[in-house]
Structure 1
C-alpha cells in the first residue's frame, strides 16, 4: 500500500470488534493463558466482573492500523503503551493514529496511537516511532 499521508497532523482511525476468537487465537500464539482472559468463572470474581482481552491485542491492532492508515513497508522502532481501561470480549474499539513528527531526512515518523471504546472510554494511550517504508518516502 503506497502512502501519501506521512505529514505532521495526518489523522485517521480504524474500528474493530474484539472477539472471543481473537482472544483465543492470541492466547494460542502468545502462550498467555491468564484466567482473567480465558476463564469466565475466574474472571467473574475479579474487579472486572468478566473476562478481559489481552492488552497486547490492542497493541497488535495498533500495528495493523498503522499499515491500514499510513501504509505498508515501514518498521516499528518503538511503541509505548499505557493501558487505561479494560477491553471486554465483544467491545468495539477505535484505534486513532496521528502523526506528530516527521524527520524526512531520517525517514522516521512519530505517531500518537490511542484506542477508545465505542462509549468514548480511552483504553490505551501510546506513541509509536516508525521507520517509514520506501513506498512511503516517495509518495
Structure 2
C-alpha cells in the first residue's frame, strides 16, 4: 500500500520555508527481499526470522537504508521533485522498522538559498507516530530559469 502526495516538481522560485511533503508505505517482505537483492546486503537479521529472533531486535527488521530510501522518494518525486540533485544527507536511526509496518516519510523545508538553488530539508520517518529515523538533507532544486 502506498499513499502519497502528488508527484512532480516545485521549482526553487516556489519553495517556501516550512513547506512539507510526505508519503506512506507499508514495508512488505517482498520490499525487504528486493532491497537485499539490489543492495547485496543479505544480513540474516533482515531475511531469516529464526536468526533474527536471537538478536536485540527479537525478529526480522527492514534495512535502515530501505527506510531512508522513502525520504529519497519524497525528495525526488515531491519536494522539490523531478530534477532535484541530492547534495548531502545525514541520518540517525532511532528504532527498527518491521515487515508490515506503515512508514510515513516526511520532509520539511528548513533553509533556502535562492542564489545557489540550495534547499535544506528536515527529514523524518515515523511508524505509529513514533520517529524511527531522523536527519537532514541538502539538495539542489530545479529552477524555471533552466527549462
Q: Same fold (TM over 0.5)?
A: yes
Pair 1:64 & 2:103 matched: no
Alignment of 1:1-139 (within 5 A): 1-3=8-10, 6-70=15-79, 71-117=81-127, 119-135=128-144
In structure 1, stretches of 5+ residues that fail to align are none
Aligned residues: 137
- Give the CA deviation at 1:74: 0.7
Matched residue SS, 2:105: strand
Structure 2 alignment gaps of length 5 or more: 1-7
Q: Give the C-alpha shift of residue 11 in structure 1.
A: 1.4
Q: Which 4+ stretches in 1 moved above 4 angstroms?
A: none
Q: How far is 1:18 from its partner?
A: 0.8
Offset from partner CA, 1:89-114 (integer Å, 9 cap, x none): 11001011100000000000000000
2:123 touches 2:136 (CA, 8 Å); kept in 1? yes
Q: Residues 46 and 63 of structure 2 are in contact (CA less than 8 Å); yes or no, is this contact kept in structure 1?
A: yes
Residue 85 of structure 1: how far off its partner (Å)? 0.2
1:74, 1:134 within 8 Å by CA — same for their partners in 2? Answer: no
**TM-score of the superposed pair, with normalisation by structure 1:** 0.92
- Offset from partner CA, 1:12-33 (integer Å, 9 cap, x none): 2211111111111111111100
Q: Compute the TM-score of the two structures, normalised by the length of structure 2.
A: 0.87
Residues 8 and 100 in structure 1, CA contact (< 8 A), matched pair in contact too: yes
Tell me how far 1:67 sits from its aligned partner.
2.5
